[in-house]
Amino acid sequence: MQRILSGIKPSGDLNIGGYGGALSQFVKYQHEYESFFFVPDLHAVTVYQDPAELHQRSREIAAYYIAAGIDPQKSAIFLQSQVSAHAQMGWLMETQVHFGELNRMTQFKEKAEGKEGVSSALFTYPALMAADILLYQATHVPVGDDQKQHLEMTRDLAERFNSRYGQTFTLPEPITPEIGSRIMSLDDPSRKMSKSNPNLNSYILLQDSPEIIRKKLSRAVTDSEGMVRYDWEHKPAVSNLIEIYAVFTDESTDVIEQRYAGQGYGMFKQELADVVIAKLEPMQQRFREIVGSSELDIILRQGAEKAAAAANNTLRKASEAMGFVMFE
Ligand code: ATP
Ligand code: LTN
C-alpha cells in the first residue's frame, strides 16, 4: 500500500492557507493511503519558541488534525519529538546533504533575511524534513506549493544515499492540490497567506469567530471590474477568493463563477463567509472538546508507538547500510 506522511509546524496559529494546502488534503487522502500525520515540533524550534506556547500549539495542531476529520484509528497522529528516530535520521541526512544545496533553499533565505542570531538548525532544516519523510518510506507527501523545493531535495538525498549505500529509501512524490495549494493574502494577492504578515486582516485563522471571518472577508481587496471571474492573470484578488470558496465547498471554480455571474462582489463575499463558517464552526467545536482532553494524550501516545515501529525499522536499515556496528 502507498504511504503518506505530512505535518504542519506548531509555530503559529493555523490559517486557511494551511487548511487548503495541507490539512484538507490530509483528510481526503487518509482513505487512499496508509497515513502518518505528525506535528513537526523539532522543526518549530529552529526559530525561538516560547516553551509554554510551543507546548500548547503542539497539542492544538494535533487537535486540529482530529477536528478536521482525520481518523486516529486509521492514521498515526503523533509529535515529532516523541519519536527519537527523527533526530537520529536527521543527523544521517545532514551527512548527505551539501552545504551548497542548503544554501539554495528559498525558505531559508526568506526566514533568515535581515535576522540576527539565525540558528544553524534553520539552515539544516531540510535535512530533518528529508529524514521525516524517508523514515516512513512515504510514497507521497501532501504539501502546499512552498514545500516543493524541500521535496525535491528529499528525493535527491534518497537517491544519493541509495546509490552510495544500496537501496534503502523510497523516493517520495509531492502531492499539491490543483486548487488551494497557494492561498494568497486577503490584502495583497501577490503574497502567500501567512501568519507572519503583520496585517491581521490579511489571513483567516481556523479559530476565528464567524463575526471576524465576515469582517475580514468583507475587507478583502478585489478590483474595480465588479465581476466574479476566475482569471489569475488579470484578477488575482478575486481569483484567490474563488479558490478559497472552492476549497471550502469542493466545488469547481467554473461552477462558482457561473453561480455569481452578473452579480457584484457584495453577495459573493457574504456567501463566501457563509461557506467558510459552515466548515469551520463544527471543526472549532470538536477542537475545543479535544484539545485539553486525555483522549488526545492517548491518541498521541498510540500514534508515537505506531510511528516509532515504522521509523526505527528504517533507521536500523540506514545505520547498517552506513556501516555502524549494530547489536540485536
Ligand atoms: P507560514 O509561512 O505561514 O509561517 P509555513 O508554510 O511556514 O507557514 P506551516 O504552517 O507548517 O508552515 O504550513 C503547513 C502546510 O500548509 C505546508 O504544507 C504549507 O505548504 C501549507 N501552506 C502554508 N501556507 C499556505 C498557503 N497560503 N496556501 C496553501 N498552502 C499553505
Ligand atoms: N517544512 C514544512 C513542515 C514539515 C513537513 C515535514 C511537511 C516538516 N517536516 C515533512 C511535510 C513532510 C513546513 O514548513 N510547512
Secondary structure (H, E, C), 195-215: CCCCCHHHCCECCCCHHHHHH
- Cα–Cα distance for residue pair 243/272, rounded to 1 Å: 10
Query: Which atom of ligand 1 is found nearest the CA of 196?
Result: 4
Select from 142, 164, 161, 163 the least CA-distant residue to 153. Answer: 161
> Does the annotation count 195 as an active-site position?
yes
Of 28, 148, 195, 306, which residue is the catalytic one?
195
Provide the 8-state DSSP code for 88: H
Which residues have C-beta atoms less than 6 Å from ligand 2? 5-7, 9, 40, 43, 129, 132-133, 141, 143, 147, 150
Query: What domains can be seen in the chain, in order of their start residue?
Result: 3-180+293-322 (3.40.50.620), 200-288 (1.10.240.10)
CA distances from 243 to 179, 196, 207, 264 (A): 6, 21, 20, 17
User: pTM of the predicted model, to two decimals?
Assistant: 0.95
**Whose CA is closest to 242, among 189, 321, 201?**
189
**Whose C-alpha lies nearest to ligand 2, atom 4?**
7
* Residue in 43, 70, 64 with CA at minimum distance from that of residue 54: 43
Question: What ligand is nearest to the CA atom of residue 90?
Answer: 2
Contact 82, 300 (CB under 8 A): yes
Residues in the chain: 328
Q: What is the edge-to-edge ordering of all strands in the sheet holding 140-142?
A: 76-79, 34-39, 3-7, 140-142, 173-175
Question: 99: which 3 cell numbers?
Answer: 552545504
The tens-digit pLDDT sequence of the chain (328 residues) is 799 999 999 998 999 999 999 999 999 999 999 999 999 999 999 999 999 999 999 999 999 999 999 999 999 999 999 999 999 999 999 999 999 999 999 999 999 999 999 999 999 999 999 999 999 999 999 999 999 999 999 999 999 999 999 999 999 999 999 999 999 999 999 999 998 899 999 999 999 999 999 999 999 999 999 999 999 999 999 999 999 999 999 999 999 999 999 999 999 999 999 999 999 999 999 999 999 999 999 999 999 999 999 999 999 999 999 999 999 7
